[in-house]
């Protein structure tokens, strides 16, 4: 079974079950960084036209692909009733990942890595999307996602703090 086939099936499953928030613009056909920026600009402009102050807060997941805990990701997919053949294939595909360091002509021995998904693969970005929570659903906050970057816009400090609290909890657990 090819990686592209599994990726297609996983994306279909995720879209069919509303697991990819409409706010996500990265790694998806027909969505772009431009639509992400325009969406945020429209919200800010609307608030400004009403003389409502707006706050924009940006987050960036540092080393996002490296920090996906595969055990948690696979557990989430099982809880969401993802087809077993997809979970089995991902388990096999993501097993035995290792890393090494190359300095000049000297390369270290490989060391197993308990977290992370294949970077540069077809499936890696989709697995990253599957790992993201639905924390965008916070009243009074407009959320814009592009891959591993999160931008929130709002005018109510309490709502923004609520989002940030959810975001911090999720970040610590994952």
107 assigned to some structural domain: no
Residue 103 lies in a domain: no
Select, from the ranges 35-44, 114-123, 141-150, the one with the highest average predicted confidence (pLDDT). 35-44
Q: Is the pTM of this model over 0.85?
A: no
pLDDT bucket at 146, cuts 50 / 70 / 90: confident
| Residue 10 within any structural domain of the chain | yes
Strongest mean pLDDT among 17-26, 28-37, 52-61, 120-129: 52-61
At 92, the pLDDT band (50, 70, 90 cuts) reads confident
How many structural domains does the chain have?
Answer: 1
**Domain-embedded: residue 16:** yes
Q: Which residue has the higher pLDDT, 103 or 72?
A: 103
Q: Is residue 106 part of a domain?
A: no
Q: What are phi and psi of 52, to 5 degrees?
A: -100, 125
pLDDT at 173: 76
Tokens of 36: 């992400």
Looking at per-residue pLDDT, the higher value among 122 and 11 belongs to 11
Report the distance separating Cα 68 and Cα 96, nearest Å: 15
Residues in the chain: 174
Question: 125 pLDDT exceeds 70?
Answer: yes
What is the span of the domain harbouring residue 63? 3-94+112-173
pLDDT interval class at 135 (50, 70, 90) = low
Give pLDDT, residue 158.
94
Task: Write the pLDDT tens digit of every residue in 35-70.
Answer: 888 989 999 999 999 999 999 999 887 777 777 778
- What is the bridge-based pairing of β-strands 106-107 and 142-146? unpaired
Residue 161 is assigned to a structural domain of this protein: yes
Q: Does any domain span residue 81? A: yes
| Structure-model confidence comparison of residues 82 and 71, the more confident one | 82
d(CA 154, CA 8): 35
The reply to whether 143 falls in a domain is yes
What phi and psi values does residue 150 have, to the nearest 5 degrees? -125, 130
């Amino acid at each position: 079974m090819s990686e592209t086939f599994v990726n297609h099936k996983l994306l279909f499953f995720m879209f069919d079950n509303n697991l990819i928030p409409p706010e996500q613009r990265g790694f998806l056909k027909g969505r772009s960084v431009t639509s992400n920026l325009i969406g945020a600009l429209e919200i800010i402009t609307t608030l400004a036209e009403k003389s409502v102050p707006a706050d924009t807060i940006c987050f960036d997941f540092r080393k996002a692909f490296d920090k996906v805990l595969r055990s948690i990701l696979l557990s989430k997919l099982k809880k969401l009733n993802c087809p077993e053949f997809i979970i089995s294939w991902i388990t096999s595909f993501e097993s035995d990942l290792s890393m090494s360091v190359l300095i000049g002509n000297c390369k270290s021995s490989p060391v197993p890595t308990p977290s992370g998904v294949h970077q540069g693969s077809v499936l890696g970005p989709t697995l990253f999307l599957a790992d993201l929570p639905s924390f965008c659903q916070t009243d009074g906050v407009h959320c814009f996602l592009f891959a591993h970057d999160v931008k929130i816009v709002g005018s109510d400090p309490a709502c923004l703090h609520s989002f940030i609290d959810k975001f911090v909890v999720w970040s610590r657990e994952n």
